[in-house]
Chains A and B, each alone.
Chain A
């Protein structure tokens, strides 16, 4: 089965980002296809590499990065939601005259069309967080 995941909540504040990650792992472990993880609303905060959690805690952002780099999962932040919340890649930073970028490795920034495409192309789109 082909799955898509929508993450609407930021890391650490709420269980949603953890549950979404565990669900992503379960999809892959069971031999299903994970088409994309789309991050919307505060969910875009899962994609900033400046996050520094205490070392004895789980590293939510790095965990997503490994999922992308090791399993080839497509991690996409909504560009409009990311701009509002200060998550930018190098191109966005230059376009908006910002003095730095903070997008974590393995993530990319794109439009809401990627969410709609996920809904169309997958058998199940599962939402985490509100």
Chain B
């Protein structure tokens, strides 16, 4: 099951409700993959502060996905580049799983993928949900 997030985080509630859908799928023990593309990459920009726009900042909850067995979050490289963003603009977190803890080095939360890689991934899914 693949979840595509392609909306900016605070301009509509779709991004937040999309995250809720991912959490529901993870609770069902599904094989869940989460990818961010188009304006969705803005959801992962670090240091977001929504206090001046009166909207609750839900984006820290995205990091919690790592604790739900979702694995790495995929970010489309072309979408980042088109928006003048780079890897260092995104949240710099790691995944702590039992598996990686035993091996030592931790896995970065975010993995950049090319549009072609993401396309191939979509092709291989049973279900694709887009938010």
Stretch at the interface among A12-20, A65-73, A97-105, A116-124: A116-124
A119 to B130, CA, bound (A): 13
Q: Which residues of B contact A80 (CB under 8 A)?
A: 17, 20
| Chain B min CB distance to A88 (Å) | 18
Question: Are B25 and A116 closer than 8 Å at their CB atoms?
Answer: yes
Question: Are B17 and A111 closer than 8 Å at their CB atoms?
Answer: no
Q: Known contacts A84-B13, A119-B1, A120-B30; decide if A112 and B21 are in contact (CB<8 Å).
A: yes
Q: Known contacts A41-B13, A84-B13, A119-B1; decide if A111 and B24 are in contact (CB<8 Å).
A: yes
Partner of A119, one of B13, B14, B27, B129: B129
Render B33-56 as a binary contact track against A, CB cut-off 8 A, 1 for contact: 000000000000000000000000
Question: Are A115 and B13 closer than 8 Å at their CB atoms?
Answer: no
Indicate whether A81 reaches chain B with its CB closer than 8 angstroms: yes
| Chain B min CB distance to A100 (Å) | 24
Interface size on B, as a range, is 10 to 19
Q: Which of B1, B24, B25 has the most CB of A within 10 A?
A: B24
A115 to B65, CA, bound (A): 19
Question: Are A115 and B127 closer than 8 Å at their CB atoms?
Answer: no
A61 to B27, CA, bound (A): 32
Q: Which residues of B contact A127 (CB under 8 A)?
A: 129-130
Question: Are A116 and B20 closer than 8 Å at their CB atoms?
Answer: no
A111 to B30, CA, bound (A): 17
Q: Which residues of B contact A6 (CB under 8 A)?
A: 129
Of residues 72 through 120 on chain A, the ones whose CB sits less than 8 Å from some CB of chain B are: 78, 80-81, 84, 111-113, 115-117, 119-120
Q: Which residues of A contact B17 (CB under 8 A)?
A: 40-41, 78, 80-81
A-B contact pairs, 21 of them (CB 8 A): A6-B129, A40-B17, A40-B21, A41-B13, A41-B17, A81-B17, A111-B24, A112-B21, A112-B23, A113-B24, A113-B28, A115-B21, A116-B21, A116-B24, A116-B30, A117-B28, A119-B1, A119-B129, A120-B30, A127-B129, A130-B130
By a beta-carbon cutoff of 8 Å, the part of chain B in contact with chain A is: 1, 13-14, 17, 20-21, 23-25, 27-28, 30, 126-127, 129-130
